[in-house]
Chains A and B, each alone.
Chain A
Amino acid sequence: MNILKKTVLAGIGLMAIQPLLSDEALVKEILPSKTESAWLSIDWKTDLWSAREEAARSGKPIYLWEMDGHPLGCV
């Protein structure tokens, strides 16, 4: 993503000059890191009823992570 020139940053008073920062570097700063994304290696289901059906099929208990604001989204 070849975007956000240094003039743009300067325009909103963020930085005067940013000659060495490629756009990809800033995008990388914003995106979740590998460590931050580790929790997504768990096969989270998003529908309680589907989880219930799978639990019944597989003979496993259900682990429910319940939050105000979806735990896999929003925040």
Chain B
Amino acid sequence: MADRLLVFANPEVQKLLKEEFVAVAADDWYQRRRKDETGKFFWKVASQGPRNPNATQQGHYVFTAKGKLLGFNNNRGPERRLAMMNDALKKWRALPDSEKKVKIPAKGKSDGRYHHELPGGGQIVKVYTRCLEEREGRLQKLAEDKVGNQAAVDHLWFQKSEVEELGKLIADGGGEIPEWLALRMARFHLRDNTRGEPRDWKKEEIKKWSLKVDAKGRMSGDFLIDSPDGKLGYQGKIEGKLAVEKDRLSKFELLIVGKHWGSGTYTGGARPGRTPIGHVFRLTDGKKESDQIPPQGIRWADGYWDPRR
């Protein structure tokens, strides 16, 4: 996440990327596993780099449409990244035109195990997460110099039939939200992802959950999630508003505030004790590519779509 502020907010990096490159971002967990034409092309590029082929391939690559690697690094900081980009551009400019404008074959069928798209008619809710602290008598984002002070983002996906079910629930006067949504939110979205990839919550770790919607679409509830050893958990309150018009979500806004405790394998550096954290859920039209990123939790697709498993 540090790259976002340190490197990609840098005006010189931005100018270079916008003018000289086609920029693409990908989840290595999927990319290095997929067995399709995209996966083959990725490995053609990555195998020219320095990474151990049996481990993560994460980093920053510059290459041609034919797959010739021109630059790689995994350093933070704009200076070294700019040096790599400029060096790669020099190599690019030295290439013959036949290497630059090439005919690309058909993509072929994507490997569905490692490629997810929003189902037809589905909708997307952005999920923002921020560690908070109490200062000057109110909850604020962490001070600039503290680890994990940036907002993290994920996406909550709905299928068309699920939205219709929510609409019917409100039309019928409201009640407890369906178990599939409760567990999807709890297991895959109420997590501290501000310092890396958190693990999914197990179903049995959801110790308490209540989220009701009334006939006007107002939502309120609370929850307690706790690991068996009590070292990782989250307790909080939920308030928000849900509206469905013509079987489409027209509003899905939640504010969740609670206290989180503990670190996961890839989320080290948590503050000691139980510390404040907040989430904001906001419906998006999903038109921007960055809004179409699959939910982190959909790596286990069967579980994401049916979290009662």
Residues of A participating in the B interface, judged by any CB pair closer than 8 Å:
1, 3-5, 8-9, 11-15, 18, 20-21, 23, 25-27, 29-33, 35-36, 38-75
Contact = CB atoms under 8 A, between A and B. Distances in A.
Given A41-B14, A68-B28, 16 more contacts: A12-B236, A30-B141, A44-B290, A47-B38, A48-B24, A56-B103, A61-B63, A61-B88, A62-B61, A65-B25, A66-B28, A66-B57, A67-B28, A69-B27, A71-B4, A75-B197
Given A29-B141, A44-B289, A70-B296, A15 B196 contact: no
Contacts of B259: 12-14
Interface in B190-249: 193-197, 222, 235-237, 239-241
- Listed residue (A32, A59, A61) with the most chain B CB atoms within 10 angstroms of its CB: A61
Contact of B38 (A21, A49, A73): A49
A66 B41 CA distance: 14
- Listed residue (B23, B241, B258) with the most chain A CB atoms within 10 angstroms of its CB: B23
B284 interface: no
A60 to B, nearest CB: 5
Contacts of B137: 15, 18, 20
A69 B59 CA distance: 12
A69 B46 CA distance: 17
A4 B72 CA distance: 47
A4 B236 CA distance: 11
Contacts of A69: 27, 29, 193, 196-197, 296
A41 B288 CA distance: 11
Given A38-B9, A74-B152, A75-B193, A14 B65 contact: no
Going nearest first, the 10 A-B pairs with the smallest beta carbon separation are A73-B293, A39-B8, A3-B239, A51-B24, A38-B9, A56-B65, A70-B27, A63-B21, A74-B296, A55-B65
Contacts of B122: none
Contacts of A63: 17, 21-24, 60-62, 85
Interface in B48-65: 56-65
Contacts of A15: 134, 137-139
Contacts of A42: 8, 14, 17-18, 23
A62 B294 contact: no
Interface string B266-300: 10000000001011100000000110111110000
Given A56-B101, A67-B27, A26 B255 contact: yes
A59 B101 contact: yes
A72 B141 contact: no
B257 A8 contact: yes
Contacts of A65: 3, 23-26, 60
Given A11-B237, A15-B138, A23 B255 contact: yes
B69 to A, nearest CB: 10
Given A39-B8, A45-B24, A49-B38, A20 B138 contact: yes
A67 B24 CA distance: 11
A49 B255 contact: no
